[in-house]
Structure formats: C-alpha cells, structure tokens
A and B are shown apart, each in its own frame.
Chain A
Amino acid sequence: GAGVSQSPSNKVTEKGKDVELRCDPISGHTALYWYRQRLGQGLEFLIYFQGNSAPDKSGLPSDRFSAERTGESVSTLTIQRTQQEDSAVYLCASSLQREKNIQYFGAGTRLSVL
C-alpha cells in the first residue's frame, strides 16, 4: 500500500485479556517502530526492528508486551493480560535506513481496556 497500515483501528477489550495489534509498513522500508500515545501525552517509544538485527526492546514497559516482525514485512504487537493503564493509541512507523530516516506513521490502533 501507499502508507503504513494498522489494524484494527479500534479495539475494546476486557481487563486480563490478550490483544494483538498489526502493522503493515510501507513496502521496502527496512525499519519498523512501535510507539504508544496516552491521552494528553507525547509518543513513547516501545520497540524498533531493523532488518535481521536484534530488535531494540528498550521501551517495552513490562514483560506483558512483546512484538514480532517477519523479515521486512508485517509486525504484530501483543499485550498479554491487559490492564487499564494499557489504554492508549498504539502507533506504528516505518522508514528507509538511510539519509534522514524519516519515520512515516500509521493512523494507530486505539486500545480501550475496560
């Protein structure tokens, strides 16, 4: 597709359930990022994938959070045993690994944990 695609756009879940969020990066972009945006706050880095290198997981807030990426394509962010504080917009971005490394964002998945 032309841009970064995320699904679902909205997800409502009950506390304690697991959720999977999906990101389709721009074709040919080797780098992929996940960020979290809580209401009224800035974007918070979660995890970064670059080609076949080990991902940078330094931003994951707890071991309930994990992410995978197959090659240079789709990524899934999984949150296990969701808590109310996990409610946020989860944004994915991708970039080429050269020059300015401009990150292009998807519209995000709005997660609401009841």
Chain B
Amino acid sequence: GQNIDQPTEMTATEGAIVQINCTYQTSGFNGLFWYQQHAGEAPTFLSYNVLDGLEEKGRFSSFLSRSKGYSYLLLKELQMKDSASYLCAVRRYGGATNKLIFGTGTLLAVQP
C-alpha cells in the first residue's frame, strides 16, 4: 500500500521561514509534487521532485530524499497570502495511470 504523512497544521510568523515535511512509503516511486490550496479554490502546482536534492523556485524550495522517503517544502519570507493548505502527493510507476496519491495536507496559518 501507500502511506503519505504530513503535519495537519502549522503556524508561522510573517517574514519568517517555515518547513513543511512529508514522509511517504510506496513502491515504484515516480515523483513527488507539492500543491498549494487556498480555501475553496483549486490546488495549484508548486514544485516537482523526482531526483534527490533541492529544487528552488523563488521563495519556495522543495527537497527530496528517495532513500529516506522524505520531502520538505520550504517557504521563505512568509507573507499573509501564504496561509493555505499545502498538499504533498506521490506518483507511482505501474499501469497506464499517472494518478497522484495525496496526503491529507498541512494547513499553514501565517500570523502578523
């Protein structure tokens, strides 16, 4: 089976840095995605990792360690608009599908 774990909620201060962790157990790993979802809105793509290491994109960075089944999303210079749910999702090899297996999401509250 597959298991994806991430914290349910986090709180951080405007201007600070926050790291959201995601651990997964799956066979046939074929990439890890992070999405941002504001309440009542569509999830929007943030980052994709398939090889070990850090991918940086502006204020957001994502890290992957395949041997440890571990990823994190790093948000720098937090802004109030970063308050949202952050969804970790894993894609597997196998069959004809590219379906994503999602964690429950981490609700981040950014405070002044």
Contact = CB atoms under 8 A, between A and B. Distances in A.
What is the size category of the interface that chain A forms with chain B?
Answer: 20 to 34
Interface of B: 4, 31, 33, 35, 40-45, 48, 50, 87, 89, 91, 95-105
Given A33-B99, A56-B96, A102-B48, A91 B104 contact: no
B45 A104 contact: yes
A40 interface: yes
A53 B95 CA distance: 12
Contacts of A56: 95-97, 99
A95 B4 CA distance: 23
Contact of B98 (A3, A42, A101): A101
Interface of A: 3-4, 31, 33, 35, 40-45, 48, 50, 53-54, 56, 58-59, 91, 95, 97, 100-108
Contacts of B45: 102-104
Given A41-B104, A42-B104, A43-B87, A91 B43 contact: yes
A50 B95 CA distance: 12
Contacts of B50: 100
A45 B42 CA distance: 15
Given A42-B87, A100-B48, A107-B41, A31 B104 contact: no
Contacts of B95: 56
B100 A103 contact: yes
